[in-house]
């Protein structure tokens, strides 16, 4: 019986929705040809996703494509809980991990618009724990030979948002996790632990992916006296109608969270992630920690609203969330004066002109993803947003996302 259920779920993915998420903001739907897509060629997305779930490479996946505000593809495949035989749905809730960063950046930029701070203000003006940053020279805490030196300059707020502060994800003897804290911990305490770790380079000199947006999220809390989850709800989620996005899920939404899986090698099928924290952290009821760098959970339709707002320069469903020039600032390269070999805006990466031959995305596209294999893409040249959500801790088939993108772009007229 289970095999029959799997085949049905794969052959008949969930159809397009008129309303994405819990309501408030809507996309239009209709003939893909009006949005410049060949409907028959677009079905190759269905074939690809069905193949990956059928072969056990992943348990379930949900995808979303909209062009010029019109949804041309929104479907779910496989099972949110394969062992229980629960089919996937487009309203399922996924752990979004580092996709939290772009929303944190948007919150902080909304405060910048209200003159709470200047982007190049030293961070120490607002968070004194960061007054005397030090840079790692050599060694480690574990071996007892860590050598550091004073940083050449102060860390600025801009540095946090474009990952040029120098703070990586190294713990250096501190109890630091991106998410999954087993016991209740205050955000301020986590950020103070980060402040005690050394930088990987002088502020502004290079790109190091790490705790910058977690610090930025706490900065927003200090500036306003409100917790980050409240700020996100007031400034982003409610204006956009992102009613199914949370740090920790309300009781009435817990059954919509997809089960976490993993796949260790290319020769095995996926199986449930055995780490209890990986499975259950979004269900915490007494965890006050709200990390600006990771932790949000939500539907793909909710996050699509945020992407459409960025594509439309700060407006969604007739409501302005950020100023036009603010969004242009957010999606511009802030690493041009550093030694970084990549381009990064404020909370999201940028596809540079020289990247195009290696992939199909248009230059100027902004994108990012989460550690559990969620991805979003905003292509301003094609007026298009593309999202794909999977939840797996280990996934030995990274080519899936590139194949998905190829299946979408090849269907354009």
DSSP-assigned letter for residue 117: -
**pLDDT value at residue 4:** 28
Gap between the Cα atoms of 281 and 218, Å rounded: 20
**pLDDT value at residue 399:** 83
**pLDDT value at residue 228:** 98
Asked whether the beta carbons of 390 and 61 are under 8 A apart, the reply is yes
Closest CA to 51 of 403, 406, 388: 403
**pLDDT value at residue 26:** 66
Could you count the other beta carbons within 10 Å of the beta carbon of residue 171? 15
> What residues contact 298, with CB distance under 8 A and at least 6 apart?
21, 93, 94, 96, 242, 244, 245, 246
In order along its 413 residues, the chain shows pLDDT tens digits of: 233 233 333 333 443 443 444 433 468 888 899 999 999 999 999 999 999 999 999 999 999 999 999 999 999 999 999 999 999 999 999 999 999 999 999 999 999 999 999 999 999 999 999 999 999 999 999 999 999 999 999 999 999 999 999 999 999 999 999 999 999 999 999 999 999 999 999 999 999 999 999 999 999 999 999 999 999 999 999 999 999 999 999 999 999 999 999 999 888 899 999 999 999 999 999 999 999 999 999 999 999 999 999 999 999 999 999 999 999 999 999 999 999 999 999 999 999 876 656 678 999 999 999 999 999 999 999 999 999 999 999 987 668 899 999 999 999 99
For residue 253, CA distances in Å to 22, 93, 213, 283 come to: 11, 8, 27, 9
Gap between the Cα atoms of 20 and 301, Å rounded: 4
Asked whether the beta carbons of 44 and 24 are under 8 A apart, the reply is no
**pLDDT value at residue 13:** 42
**pLDDT value at residue 170:** 94
Task: Give catalytic residues, as residue numbers.
Answer: 98, 101, 209
Q: What angle do CA 280, 281, 283 make, to 5 degrees?
A: 70
Q: Locate tokens 């790692």: which residue?
A: 136
Catalogue all structural domains in the chain, each as residue range(s) with its CATH number.
Answer: 23-54+253-278+391-413 (no CATH), 95-248+284-295+334-351 (3.40.710.10)
């Amino acid at each position: 019986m289970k095999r029959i259920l799997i085949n049905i779920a794969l052959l008949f993915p969930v159809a397009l929705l008129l309303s994405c998420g819990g309501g408030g903001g809507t996309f239009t739907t209709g003939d893909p040809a009006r949005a410049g897509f060949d409907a028959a060629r677009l079905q190759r997305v269905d074939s690809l996703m069905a193949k990956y779930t059928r072969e056990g490479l992943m348990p379930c996946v949900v995808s979303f494509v909209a062009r010029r505000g019109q949804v041309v593809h929104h479907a779910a495949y496989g099972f949110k809980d394969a062992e229980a035989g629960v089919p996937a749905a487009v309203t399922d809730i996924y752990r979004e991990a580092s996709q939290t960063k772009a929303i944190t950046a948007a919150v902080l930029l909304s405060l910048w618009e209200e003159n709470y701070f200047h982007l190049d203000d030293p961070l120490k003006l607002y968070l004194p724990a960061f007054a005397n940053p030090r840079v790692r020279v050599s060694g480690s805490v574990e071996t007892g030979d860590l050598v550091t030196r004073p940083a050449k300059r102060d860390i600025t707020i801009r540095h946090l948002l474009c990952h040029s502060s120098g703070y990586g994800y190294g713990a250096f003897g501190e109890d630091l996790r991106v998410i999954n804290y087993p016991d209740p911990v205050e955000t301020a305490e986590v950020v103070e632990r980060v402040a005690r770790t050394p930088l990987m380079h002088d502020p502004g000199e290079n790109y190091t992916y790490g705790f910058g947006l977690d610090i930025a999220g706490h900065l927003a809390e200090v500036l306003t006296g409100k917790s980050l989850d409240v700020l996100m709800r007031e400034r982003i989620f409610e204006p956009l109608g992102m009613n199914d996005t949370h740090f920790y899920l309300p009781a009435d939404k817990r059954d919509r969270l997809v089960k976490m899986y993993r796949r260790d090698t290319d020769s095995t099928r996926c199986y449930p992630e055995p780490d209890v924290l990986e499975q259950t952290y979004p269900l915490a009821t007494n965890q006050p920690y709200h990390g600006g760098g990771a932790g949000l959970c939500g539907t793909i339709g909710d996050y699509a609203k945020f992407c459409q707002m960025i594509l439309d320069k700060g407006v969604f469903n007739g409501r302005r969330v950020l100023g036009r020039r603010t969004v242009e600032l957010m999606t511009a390269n802030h690493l041009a004066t550093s030694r970084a070999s990549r381009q990064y805006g404020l909370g999201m990466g940028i596809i540079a002109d020289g990247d195009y031959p290696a992939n199909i995305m248009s230059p100027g596209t902004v994108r990012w993803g989460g550690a559990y294999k969620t991805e979003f893409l905003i292509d301003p040249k094609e007026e298009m947003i593309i999202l794909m959500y999977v939840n797996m801790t280990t996934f030995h088939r990274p080519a899936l996302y590139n194949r998905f993108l190829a299946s979408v772009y090849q269907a354009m007229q």
